Amino acid sequence: MTATKKLNLKQKYQYLTRDMDWEPSYQKKSDIFPLEEFEGIKIIDWDGWEDPFRLTMDSYWKYQAEKEKKLYAIFDAFAQNNGHQNISDARYVNSLKLFLSGVSPLEYAAFQGYAKVGRQFSGAGARVACQMQAIDELRHSQTQQHAMSHYNKHFNGLHDAPLMHDRVWFLSVPKSFFDDARSAGPFEFLTAISFSFEYVLTNLLFVPFMSGAAYNGDMATVTFGFSAQSDEARHMTLGLEIIKFLLEQHEDNVPIVQQWIDKWFWRGFRLLSLVSMMMDYMLPNKVMSWKEAWEVYYEQSGGALFKDLERYGIRPPKYQDVANAAKEHISHQLWSTFYQYGQATNFHTWMPKKEELDWLAEKYPDSFNKYYRPRFEHWDELQKKNQRYYNPTLPQLCQVCQVPVLFTETDDPSSISHRDTVYKEDRYHFCSEACCEIFGNEPEKYVQAWLPVHQIYQGNCGGPELPGVLSDYYHINLGEDNLEFSGSPDEKRWNEMKGIKPSKKDDAA
Amino acid sequence: MSQLVFIAFQDNENARYLVEAISEDNPQAEVQYQPAMIRIQAEKRLVITRETMEEKLNRDWDVQEMLLDVISIGGNVDEDDDHFILSWN
Amino acid sequence: MAVKAISTYTAESKDKVENFNGMQLLYVHWLNHNMFCAPFALLVAPNMTFAELWQTYIKPAVAPHPESEKIMEDEIQWKLNGKTFEPNKGTPLLEMGIDHKSMLTMATPGLNGLYNASF
């Protein structure tokens, strides 16, 4: 103790997470925390829980307030200076539409998830960490919506993101990912979101996305992204600590955690295939390819991580090699899919320009020219003849990840990697061995999947014709939000904006 | 196999001092400049020292101030009043 | 394996055949023609003949592909749920074993997609 009796970091953290907690005297602990045991995880001593950042409430509010002040100062400046006019190209805004309807609602789902598990642990350290993270996630969801509300004034497709998240076919991919995690027990939720998603994979979402925003002149997005990401560093640390804590508590936890890591690595990898196409195709100014990002943020960082975890008897995720090999293909396969279903998306799609094709060929020397360039040139030709290709049928969806069954076999990029299985007399279809295996481990959970294509066919999404589903059930403004970028109202407005070179008279206020 | 720890900061005024201090305390660290961010990586271990930062800034500096500018990290974290350490075992 | 849960966990499939108002789901995949990014998901009547399925569902679905015009219907190599399958044109689907959520794959020897890339 110093003369001023100022507590150091460790002491302050000790007070918050241990000394303010108490042992119940007239209620059983298992009644207060009823979800702590059913997953089979054994906790011997919650005192082993250590948050390395040792953040206390006073510092938490202080730093978060400072982050918010900085952030909103930039939002104001961005709006007052018509910042949207400084982006590289209007095509860029489509990545924001994908983000706002695909990712921001996940931040909200994360808030709900952490608020829930933040009540469920009998260890006060874990409760405090989860509650702080719940507040962070709510902040992220809000700041993202605030940042993008400026774009909503000038571009189409941003008007109803939460509803679209709940209903639009491809948005069931991110939605069902989080629903899967939130409906699991509290320890699986933390392994899924804090460890597998936040620690292992989230860099691939935020870091290239925000660097991409910076490269495309979008200061508002860069700022909210990095502001959110500064919380992420804390969340990631938490994710790693949770795993180490579970593994150190009891050896029986090891196989349970391993199976969760296998599952959630794969679920996250499939979810991030949406990000792969965003990076390679939706950013007019490219930062790095998906393949490069995967190599740095998964192969290199994940490699170091799993080497570190070896001492606990944990091995790298089971289907890691399939994911590593797929880095050559998934972005091209996803963009092909969204291009052909561009009539049913809340953002525009387009064919890459010649320089972009060359960039892709350079970044993907082993796959692009052989498998993907010919198809893009084919579609480009059709477009020049005014016969832009749209696929009028509905696709088969994977029962687990809900992505259309579009991925190819590791050893044969020309064959779709379809799998199926029969459970209680019904057949189920999958995009991969890994998704099929996840189903096999918990079939009762996944038979309940709300698969958008099947729901349309059951008549639960309006219609019966597709345009009715898109406009009335998905709230997509047909001819404005969807279809090809060239000739879209977004493009026209952008051309006017850039042609006029406004004298910023709107900024007078 | 090499085991790199890393830390990424927003490329802003604070980061300049952090990079200077980290480079001084970790001569083996590699600094990479990327759009709007600075990424620093090193084999196995990277440390930020309060004392070095205070020298650079010429004012008191709380280790937790780095929370304002950090974007991402890789490695086990150990933090106390004087250091922020990233490491792999 | 069972779902670990706090109480007995039972669930019903969202996609039971009775939820499809008398119709059934059928997936069709044309091998090596990845212009169609994924197998087609079709809603069909179980008592429809195979000839009708071909004419009113599969032919229009594959029509955007330039190779579709060259398909010799009688030379298609069919598989039903992974097993070799010889369709009988006049027989209803269900009678031939094409039940709810079945998958038909069609291989067309000599037609392997465009650009030597299974497109």
State pLDDT tens for residues A268-305: 999 999 999 999 999 999 989 999 999 999 999 999 99
Amino acid in position A65: A
pLDDT number for residue C24: 98
Shortest CA distance from C27: residue in chain A? A396
CA B20/CA B17 separation, integer angstroms: 5
Say if C37 falls within a structural domain.
Answer: yes
Shortest CA distance from A52: residue in chain B? B78
Is residue A75's pLDDT more than 60?
Answer: yes
pLDDT number for residue C33: 98
pLDDT number for residue A54: 85
Q: Which residues of A320-335 are buried (b: 16+ CB within 10 A; e: fewer)?
A: bebbbebbbbbbbbbb
Residues of B with a Cβ under 8 Å from any A Cβ are 1-6, 8, 10, 34-37, 63-65, 67-81, 88-89
Say if C1 falls within a structural domain.
Answer: no
CA A44/CA A361 separation, integer angstroms: 54
Contact criterion met (CB below 8 Å) for A290 and A331: yes
Residue A216 burial by Cβ neighbours in a 10 Å radius (0-12, 13-18, 19+): buried
Q: Which residues of A492-505 are buried (b: 16+ CB within 10 A; e: fewer)?
A: eebeeeeeeeeeee
Shortest CA distance from C113: residue in chain A? A414
**What domain range includes position B22?**
4-87
Residue C118 burial by Cβ neighbours in a 10 Å radius (0-12, 13-18, 19+): buried
Say yes or no for a CB contact (<8 Å) between C14 and A451. yes
Q: Note the pLDDT tens digit of each residue in A264-276.
A: 999 999 999 999 9
pLDDT number for residue A3: 56
Contacts of A355 by beta carbon, 8 Å cutoff, 6+ apart: none
Task: Report chain A's mean pLDDT, rounded to a whole number.
Answer: 93
pLDDT number for residue A52: 83
Contacts of B49 by beta carbon, 8 Å cutoff, 6+ apart: B21, B25, B82, B83
CA-wise closest residue to A399 among B65, C27, C65, B17: C27
Say if C118 falls within a structural domain.
Answer: no
- On chain A, the residues whose CB falls within 8 A of the CB of B30 are none
Q: Note the pLDDT tens digit of each residue in C80-116.
A: 999 999 999 999 999 999 999 999 999 999 999 999 9
A49 to chain B nearest CA, in Å? Answer: 14
pTM: 0.95
- On chain C, the residues whose CB falls within 8 A of the CB of A450 are 14
Would you tell me the crossing angle of helices A301-309 and A219-249 to the nearest 10 degrees?
20
Say if C117 falls within a structural domain.
Answer: no
Say yes or no for a CB contact (<8 Å) between C25 and A397. no
Say if C68 falls within a structural domain.
Answer: yes
User: What phi, psi does C84 have (nearest 5°)?
Assistant: -50, 140
- On chain B, the residues whose CB falls within 8 A of the CB of A66 are 68
Q: Would you call A383 helix, strand, or coil by DSSP?
A: helix
Q: Note the pLDDT tens digit of each residue in A312-369.
A: 999 999 999 999 999 999 999 999 999 999 999 999 999 999 999 999 999 999 999 9
Say yes or no for a CB contact (<8 Å) between B89 and A303. no
Place of tokens 């794969």: A266
Cα A343 → chain centroid: 23
ipTM over 0.90: yes
Indicate which CATH number applies to the domain containing C80.
3.10.20.560
**What is the tally of structural domains in chain C?**
1
Q: What share of chain A is helix, strand, coil (3-state, %, to 5)?
A: 65, 5, 30
CA A335/CA A91 separation, integer angstroms: 14
Instruction: State whether residue A254 sits within 8 Å of chain B by CB.
Output: no
Residue C5 burial by Cβ neighbours in a 10 Å radius (0-12, 13-18, 19+): middle
List domains and CATH numbers for chain A.
46-507 (1.10.620.20)
Contacts of B15 by beta carbon, 8 Å cutoff, 6+ apart: B9, B38, B69
CA A450/CA A323 separation, integer angstroms: 25
The side-by-side arrangement of strands in the sheet containing C83-85 is A394-395, C40-44, C24-30, C102-107, C77-80, C83-85
**Strand (E) or helix (H) holding A429:** strand A426-430
Is residue A10's pLDDT more than 90?
Answer: no
Is residue A508's pLDDT more than 70?
Answer: no
Count CB atoms within 10 A of the CB of residue A149: 14
**What domain range includes position C36?**
17-107
- On chain A, the residues whose CB falls within 8 A of the CB of C15 are 426, 447, 451, 454, 458
Would you tell me the crossing angle of helices A354-363 and A373-384 to the nearest 10 degrees?
170
Instruction: State whether residue C21 sits within 8 Å of chain A by CB.
Output: yes
Say if C3 falls within a structural domain.
Answer: no
**Strand (E) or helix (H) holding A413:** strand A412-416
A235 to chain B nearest CA, in Å? Answer: 10
Which of A381-385, A482-486, B68-72 has the weakest average pLDDT? B68-72
Contact criterion met (CB below 8 Å) for A41 and A187: yes
- On chain A, the residues whose CB falls within 8 A of the CB of C101 are 426-429
Place of tokens 């997470």: A17
| Both structure tokens of A286 | 């490219």
Place of tokens 């044109």: C89
How many beta-carbon pairs under 8 angstroms link A with C?
A: 145
Indicate which CATH number applies to the domain containing B43.
3.90.56.10
Cα A195 → chain centroid: 14
CA A458/CA A454 separation, integer angstroms: 6
Q: Note the pLDDT tens digit of each residue in A448-479.
A: 999 999 999 999 999 889 999 999 999 999 99
